[in-house]
């Protein structure tokens, strides 16, 4: 069956025909049959250079042979025990070594679970219920963080989804990214805030970079108000380098969430941080967290193999940076949009200057993006189908796939 036909069938059994909303490309999504390196092969017989890379986890490319071998070795030994394994200790020790701020951690199955648990833990530890997030900040699809944008710090949050009780949403406040005054004002007024959760580099409205000194100021302000600082590094962890954004910018959050690359492309979430806080997690403390697939051996095997590879090949980060630089340098002089990149993250915003926060990003010309997206797809390059989803490059993007990407951006 070809993609169009598959989608027709999918709509009869899957809401909207898909398993996650961003995948519902109009008029119908292409269906992938297999993937290798930087290339997706579709059910329609096409080959596409992938700039989405599973929305981030695949830093080392599709079906990376090193990771594949590690997964296969674990498959032979079984893939779920419901007991402790040495693998969870191994991965935990590696993550702890890579992050100065993490003294203890727990592995769950998704980034969503990691941020949900970190928020519950912050509430349990501080005895306060309110949380602050960024306007437009994404931390997975759960009630505390599905908050409508634009509600601002002065009002309580309102749900961004049916089914989120307004009373839950009211516990969540929002501030714009790169705005330390708004944060200071909010925390001075509201003494019931347990934590501020943010992506240190916003990655879910396209990449938005921190102004000089922003993250250091955030650290200072939260500490001064006894508010825990949670860095959601589900994208930036192992993406901006070993140690993520906190290493790059020299900031020590109280809690960190990881996911995506950390599991080498298999489902994972991690939350960790200060020992005195983490010891409150069950069974050592009273904040409950549990999961059938927590620390599952397959994800641990893929995560460990990825970690070993990254440490043995740390130079790959500089090479990834060169690749996105080459895309930037290929833009035509008359390009009216703005190109934002950081290492292997990049996006072309159809907006004259790089956005500094969510509302600015929202001013991008999404119709122009849509035209560009379709043109890229016709040329054999798949970029995430939204102006507000970050593009990802992997180590598997070789000269020929980079050439294809560059030829698309040359005509942006
Ligand atoms: C992807 C993402 C999540 C959610 O992770 P899932 O594994 O999709 O549940 C959370 N936070 C950030 C910053 C993300 O990019």
Centroid of ligand 1 to alpha carbon of 400 (angstroms): 30
Centroid of ligand 1 to alpha carbon of 150 (angstroms): 21
Tokens of 85: 């394994």
Residue 18 burial by CB count (10 A; 0-12/13-18/19+): exposed, middle or buried?
Answer: middle
pLDDT at position 149 is 82
Taken in order 98, 207, 38, 25, the sign of the CA dihedral is positive
Q: What are the pLDDT digits (tens) for 386-395?
A: 999 999 999 9
Centroid of ligand 1 to alpha carbon of 40 (angstroms): 22
pLDDT at position 156 is 85
pLDDT at position 150 is 72
* Alpha-helical runs (H) found in 155-224: 166-169, 180-189, 214-224
- The residue nearest atom 5 of ligand 1, judged by CA position, is 111
Determine contact, residues 47/41, Cβ cutoff 8 Å: yes
Q: Tokens 């949403």 sit at which residue?
A: 169
Pocket test for ligand 1, best of 53, 206, 235, 246 (most atoms within 8 A of CB): 235
Dmax over CA atoms of the chain, in Å, equals 60
What strand order describes the sheet that includes 391-392?
338-342, 345-349, 391-392
Centroid of ligand 1 to alpha carbon of 332 (angstroms): 33
Q: Is 112 in the pocket of ligand 1 (CB under 6 A)?
A: yes
| Position 288 confidence tier, pLDDT thresholds 50, 70, 90 | very high
Q: How many CB atoms lie within 10 A of CB 165?
A: 10
Domains detected in the chain = 2-63+316-409 (3.90.1150.10), 65-311 (3.40.640.10)
- The residue nearest atom 8 of ligand 1, judged by CA position, is 111
Tokens of 362: 């929202």
Centroid of ligand 1 to alpha carbon of 331 (angstroms): 30
Q: What are the pLDDT digits (tens) for 28-64?
A: 999 999 999 999 999 999 999 999 999 999 999 999 9
- Collapsing DSSP to helix, strand or coil, 90 comes out as helix
Determine contact, residues 49/39, Cβ cutoff 8 Å: yes
- The residue nearest atom 15 of ligand 1, judged by CA position, is 235
Centroid of ligand 1 to alpha carbon of 273 (angstroms): 18
Q: Tokens 């001075």 sit at which residue?
A: 188
**CB-based contacts of 256, cutoff 8 Å, min separation 6:** 99, 101, 102, 230, 231, 232, 233, 237, 244, 246, 270, 271, 272, 273
400-411 mean pLDDT = 98
Q: With a cut of 90, say whether residue 151 has pLDDT above it.
A: no
| Position 337 confidence tier, pLDDT thresholds 50, 70, 90 | very high
Centroid of ligand 1 to alpha carbon of 333 (angstroms): 35
pLDDT at position 30 is 98
Q: How many CB atoms lie within 10 A of CB 353?
A: 10
Closest CA relative to residue 122, chosen from 26, 197, 56: 197
Q: With a cut of 70, say whether residue 18 has pLDDT above it.
A: yes
Segment among 147-161, 207-221, 368-382 with least mean pLDDT: 147-161
Q: Over the range 70-103, which residues count as b (16 or more CB within 10 Å of their CB) and which as e?
A: bbeebeeeeeeeeeebebbebbbebbeebbebbe
Cα 247 from Cα 244, distance rounded (Å): 6
Q: Is 372 in the pocket of ligand 1 (CB under 6 A)?
A: no
Is the pTM higher than 0.95? The answer reads: yes
Cα 104 from Cα 101, distance rounded (Å): 9
Q: How many CB atoms lie within 10 A of CB 334?
A: 6
Q: With a cut of 70, say whether residue 7 has pLDDT above it.
A: yes
- The residue nearest atom 11 of ligand 1, judged by CA position, is 139
Closest CA relative to residue 102, chosen from 246, 241, 239: 246
Centroid of ligand 1 to alpha carbon of 219 (angstroms): 22
| Position 152 confidence tier, pLDDT thresholds 50, 70, 90 | low
**CB-based contacts of 300, cutoff 8 Å, min separation 6:** 74, 85, 87, 88, 90, 91, 107
Q: What are the pLDDT digits (tens) for 71-125?
A: 999 999 999 999 999 999 999 999 999 999 999 999 999 999 999 999 999 999 9
Q: Is 384 in the pocket of ligand 1 (CB under 6 A)?
A: no
Q: Is 140 in the pocket of ligand 1 (CB under 6 A)?
A: yes
Q: What are the pLDDT digits (tens) for 160-207?
A: 999 999 999 999 999 999 999 999 999 999 999 999 999 999 999 999
Q: Is 57 in the pocket of ligand 1 (CB under 6 A)?
A: no
pLDDT at position 332 is 97
- Nearest atom in ligand 1 to 199's CA: 13
Q: How many CB atoms lie within 10 A of CB 150?
A: 12
* pLDDT, the chain, mean: 97
Q: With a cut of 70, say whether residue 153 has pLDDT above it.
A: no
Tokens of 308: 């070993």
Cα 399 from Cα 393, distance rounded (Å): 12
Q: What are the pLDDT digits (tens) for 77-91?
A: 999 999 999 999 999
Q: Is 203 in the pocket of ligand 1 (CB under 6 A)?
A: yes
């Amino acid at each position: 069956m070809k993609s169009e036909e598959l989608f027709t069938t999918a709509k009869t059994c899957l809401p909207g025909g898909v398993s996650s909303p961003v995948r519902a490309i109009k008029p119908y999504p292409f269906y992938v049959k297999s993937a290798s390196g930087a290339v997706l092969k579709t059910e329609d017989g096409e080959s596409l250079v992938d700039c989405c890379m599973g929305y981030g986890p695949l830093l080392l490319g599709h079906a990376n042979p090193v990771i594949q071998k590690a997964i296969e070795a674990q498959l032979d030994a079984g893939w779920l025990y419901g007991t402790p394994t040495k693998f969870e200790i191994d991965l935990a020790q590696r993550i702890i070594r890579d992050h100065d701020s993490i003294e203890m951690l727990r592995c769950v199955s998704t980034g969503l679970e990691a941020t949900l648990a970190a928020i519950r833990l912050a509430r349990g530890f501080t005895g306060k219920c309110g949380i602050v997030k960024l306007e437009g900040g994404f931390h997975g699809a759960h009630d505390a963080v599905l908050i409508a944008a634009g509600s601002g710090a002065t009002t309580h949050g309102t749900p961004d989804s049916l089914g989120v009780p307004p009373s839950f949403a009211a516990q969540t406040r929002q501030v714009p990214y790169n705005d330390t005054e708004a944060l200071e004002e909010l925390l001075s007024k509201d003494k019931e805030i347990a934590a501020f959760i943010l992506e240190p580099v916003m990655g879910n409205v396209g990449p938005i970079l921190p102004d000089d000194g922003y993250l250091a100021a955030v650290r200072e302000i939260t500490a001064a108000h006894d508010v825990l600082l949670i860095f959601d590094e589900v994208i930036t962890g192992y993406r901006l380098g070993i140690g993520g954004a906190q290493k790059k910018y020299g900031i020590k959050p109280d809690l960190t969430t990881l996911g995506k690359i950390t599991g080498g492309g298999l489902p994972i979430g991690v939350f960790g941080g200060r020992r005195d806080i983490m010891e409150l997690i069950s069974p050592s403390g009273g904040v409950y967290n549990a999961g059938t697939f927590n620390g599952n051996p397959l994800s641990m095997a893929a995560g460990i193999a990825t970690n070993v590879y990254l440490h043995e090949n740390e130079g790959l980060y500089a090479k990834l940076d060169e690749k996105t630089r080459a895309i930037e340098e290929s833009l035509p002089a008359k390009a009216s949009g703005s190109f934002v990149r950081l290492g292997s993250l990049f996006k072309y915003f159809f907006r004259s200057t790089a956005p500094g926060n969510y509302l600015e990003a929202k001013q991008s010309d999404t119709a122009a993006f849509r035209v560009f997206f379709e043109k890229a797809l016709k040329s054999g390059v798949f970029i995430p189908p939204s102006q507000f989803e970050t593009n990802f490059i992997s180590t598997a993007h070789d000269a020929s796939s980079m050439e294809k990407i560059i030829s698309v951006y040359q005509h942006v």
